[in-house]
Amino acid sequence: MDNFSVDASQLISRNSEKLAMELVFAEVGSDNGLLPINSLLAELEDLVSAGPSTLPAGFLAGLTSGRQLVDECLEAGTFQPNSLAALRAWVQWLQSIHDAITTEATIPLWIGVGPLSCSVGDGSLPSTPPSEPGESILLNLANDADLLKEFVSESMEHLQNIEAGVLILELNPKDSSTLASIFRAFHTFKGGSGFLNLAPINQLAHELESLLDLLRQEKLQVNVEIISLILDGGDMLKRFITAIDRQLCSNNAPEPIQFETSSLKARIRNSMAGPGEEEFIFQGDGSERVNQQVKSNSGKALHQYASVKVPIEKLDSLVDLVGEMVIAQSLVAQDQQLKSIASSQLTRNLTQLSRITKELQKTAMSLRMVPVRAVFQKMNRVVRDVAAKTGKEVELILSGEETELDRTIVEEISDPLIHMIRNSVDHGIELPNARVATGKNKKGVIHLKAFHRGGNIIIQILDDGAGLCKKRIEEKAITSGLIKPDHNLPDKEIYSLIFAPGFSTAERVTDLSGRGVGMDVVRRNIDKMRGKIEISTLEGKGTTFTISLPLTLAIIDGLIVQVGHHRYIIPTLSIRESFRPEPDQIFTLQEKGEMISVRDQIIPLLRLSDCFGVTTSITNPAEAIVLVVESSNERRCIMVDRLLGKQEVVIKSLGETFQSNDALAGAAILGDGLVGLIVDADALVHLNKRQYAHAA
């Protein structure tokens, strides 16, 4: 036993003590301690799959039967008389292992208790059948809401792990650590759903778990059918989980959740039928062999970071408070009376305060940041599905998954990315034959990258496909009346026509893309996040989409402007330029519609004072400042009295009282502690258009 690691033996001894402690309080018919026991057992199992393969066979077999005992209880929801007795004996056995290790004696074999040792296999178990398996789920929101919430959030993680794992399996079907982690994910599903009485999920997860078990023991080979079974199974579980989640969020009385699972289960059973009936390996070499292959790092990847789950409201209020502190700090630092005290001690302390405040602000902001990894990994699936449907061969290469973005942006970016990746596979990458004909590799490559540039996060999608066809875009734009035949637009603007609503050059409409809805939605979504999207393309070589996004939605860089006695903040991102117009740049139309000519471009002028109904002494544009703002290819000149400065501000919601006011995007506390209103430049541009339409 000299190679039995000290860590392992300590863990066994510690967990067996804890298990014994939990079991003291366990009672037949109650579930007290059932979950802790489950997790203690899971730790031991992790040890087995993560640790070196030097664990003795007797221990592994014993662990398997312990798992069976706990599962029986989990499935029934409470401790059962027989399994509880067996569990107690089992824990004693576990404790004896530790003694055996320290005295270097042979590890005693777990021989079980009475008829139970024969286990479920021969059916002699005094049956404690789980309540009649129904095909629909009726949630018990009143009692289980908290448990269900936890189950849902954990399940989401497991589903992601499953999906990520499957994609690894596709490349390396024999990767035993991945098989083990998918197995564990389904297993946890089974345990949790059984405990919460979610019979259909439980049954499906059980079938999937059995399937994975066979794969794990190499009684079945991973093939295309099995991969799609696992994915379908994961999807089905996801449908259940989303349905549960929806009911948890709504206040309505729970309705039965029902999805057709029997055909899926039948398919799984068919796949498993090959190697014969399910059999439990009790002492066989099989399980040990699997464990020998398990790499030492398996299972750890999932628990790489120790983390705490915190409700987002708490985080938001922390960020708010820190923002206030920064303002309060700057008020103190700029206080005239304090400044007049010429004390080096005070100056030092103030500098220290400001340093700490800045650090604190940075940390608070970073709390809301999450890596884009989860979203990027979703794209693997998208590429795989679309490529399979279109008969193309595509490889997706991810980089910069660890780049961090504001949580809200990560959520919002997912849909546009899916659209664009789909497009890249469907339109960008050519069919294998066509690629070979043009001397490219049969397999198309799509790069999905994320990185920092300046104060922004850049997400790039590069494909080595056919590129955009300028001529086809031009033709299509001319026939649909977007541009005139005699236009002389630069290439870049022609390419960006694909973001126009309803624009599609796809020759045929597939269920994937080509309906012309998509790129305009992508553009709109990105605009909403105050981001920008650009295309560069080389016909025959490929296309690159570059999305630049702000680091966070909570802070914006704003230009503070003055109109009359009022101050407004205009997001710098939507401002193209600002200048004081010369009198000969200003034109009017019917003495009403004012326009400014900016480098041969005629842009309508909009007086902020008129928009907001405030009075100002400056009425002549030549005495004022004009800001050119842009929103979805439309430009407006906005006239303000003066520019007061540039400042980073924390956006605050104005609340529902002012939600009818769409020209405002929110409010922010300015340096002097007063509230400044943030102007929604997009809304202003369109507001102006509406007014024109109204006047006409």
Q: Is 346 in the site for another protein (CB under 8 A)?
A: no
Q: Is 321 in the site for another protein (CB under 8 A)?
A: yes
Q: Which of 43, 279, 316, 324 binds another protein (CB under 8 A)?
A: 324
Quote the CA–CA distance of 536 and 546 in Å, as a whole number. Answer: 8
Question: Do residues 465 and 416 make contact, with C-beta atoms less than 8 angstroms apart?
Answer: no
For another protein, the closer of residues 336 and 660 by Cβ is 660
Closest CA to 121 of 279, 273, 274: 279
Shortest distance, position 694 Cβ to another protein, whole Å: 12
Q: Is 655 in the site for another protein (CB under 8 A)?
A: yes
What are the structure tokens assigned to 117, written together?
């040792």
Q: What type of residue sits at position 238?
A: K
Region of 20-28, 90-98, 501-509, 653-661 interacting with another protein (CB under 8 A): 653-661
Q: Is 510 in the site for another protein (CB under 8 A)?
A: no
For another protein, the closer of residues 103 and 660 by Cβ is 660
For another protein, the closer of residues 350 and 614 by Cβ is 614
3-state SS string over 473-536?
Answer: HHHHHHHCCCCCCCCCCCHHHHHHHHHCCCCCCCCCCCCCCCCCCCHHHHHHHHHHCCCEEEEE
Quote the CA–CA distance of 502 and 74 in Å, as a whole number. Answer: 53
Residues numbered 670-689 forming contacts with another protein, rule: CB under 8 A: 673-677
Around Cβ 29, how many Cβ atoms within 10 Å? 11
Q: Which of 24, 123, 656, 695 binds another protein (CB under 8 A)?
A: 656
Quote the CA–CA distance of 254 and 244 in Å, as a whole number. Answer: 9
Q: Is 667 in the site for another protein (CB under 8 A)?
A: yes
Q: Is 251 in the site for another protein (CB under 8 A)?
A: no
Around Cβ 692, how many Cβ atoms within 10 Å? 11
Q: Which of 566, 635, 642, 686 binds another protein (CB under 8 A)?
A: 566
Give, in order, the Cα–Cα distances in Å from 114 to each of 65, 117, 118, 205, 245: 14, 6, 8, 30, 43
For another protein, the closer of residues 215 and 554 by Cβ is 554
Classify each residue of 35-48 as buried b or exposed e, where b means 16 or more C-beta atoms within 10 Å of its C-beta: eebbebbbebbbbb
Shortest distance, position 314 Cβ to another protein, whole Å: 15
Give, in order, the Cα–Cα distances in Å from 579 to each of 16, 74, 395, 567: 76, 71, 49, 18
For another protein, the closer of residues 588 and 619 by Cβ is 619
Question: Do residues 180 and 296 make contact, with C-beta atoms less than 8 angstroms apart?
Answer: no
Shortest distance, position 525 Cβ to another protein, whole Å: 24
Instruction: Return the C-alpha torsion angle 655, 659, 663, 669, nearest 10.
Output: -10
Q: Which of 147, 482, 669, 683 binds another protein (CB under 8 A)?
A: 669
Angle at 383 between CA 524 and CA 418, to 5 degrees: 15
Region of 402-410, 480-488, 571-579, 669-677 interacting with another protein (CB under 8 A): 669-677
Q: Is 652 in the site for another protein (CB under 8 A)?
A: yes
Shortest distance, position 334 Cβ to another protein, whole Å: 17
Q: Is 256 in the site for another protein (CB under 8 A)?
A: no
Q: What strand order describes the sheet that includes 634-640? A: 575-579, 625-631, 634-640, 601-607, 593-598, 586-589
Q: What type of residue sits at position 149?
A: K
Q: Which of 74, 450, 494, 664 binds another protein (CB under 8 A)?
A: 664
Shortest distance, position 323 Cβ to another protein, whole Å: 6
Shortest distance, position 657 Cβ to another protein, whole Å: 4
What are the structure tokens assigned to 271, written together?
């796949």
Q: Is 654 in the site for another protein (CB under 8 A)?
A: yes
Region of 119-127, 392-400, 501-509, 651-659 interacting with another protein (CB under 8 A): 651-659
Q: Is 323 in the site for another protein (CB under 8 A)?
A: yes
Shortest distance, position 317 Cβ to another protein, whole Å: 9
Query: Which residues partner with 397 through β-bridges?
Result: 447
Region of 48-56, 269-277, 491-499, 660-668 interacting with another protein (CB under 8 A): 660-668
Around Cβ 362, how many Cβ atoms within 10 Å? 10
Shortest distance, position 69 Cβ to another protein, whole Å: 41
Q: What is the chain's Cα-based Rg?
A: 32
Q: Is 663 in the site for another protein (CB under 8 A)?
A: yes
Query: Which residues neighbour 168 within 8 Å (Cβ) at sequence distance 6 or greater?
Result: 175, 178
Classify each residue of 517-545 as buried b or exposed e, where b means 16 or more C-beta atoms within 10 Å of its C-beta: ebbbebbebbbebbbbbebebeeeebbbb
Number of residues that bind another protein (CB under 8 A): 29
Q: Is 259 in the site for another protein (CB under 8 A)?
A: no
For another protein, the closer of residues 277 and 656 by Cβ is 656
* Contact mark string toward another protein, 607..636, x via CB under 8 A: ----xxxx----------------------
Q: Is 553 in the site for another protein (CB under 8 A)?
A: no
For another protein, the closer of residues 320 and 594 by Cβ is 320
33: left (phi over 0), alpha (psi -120 to 50) or beta: left
Q: Is 648 in the site for another protein (CB under 8 A)?
A: no
Residues numbered 84-123 forming contacts with another protein, rule: CB under 8 A: none
Shortest distance, position 612 Cβ to another protein, whole Å: 3
Q: Count of residues for the chain?
A: 696
Q: For binding to another protein (CB under 8 A), which residues are involved?
A: 320-321, 323-324, 327, 566, 611-614, 652-661, 663-664, 667, 669, 673-677
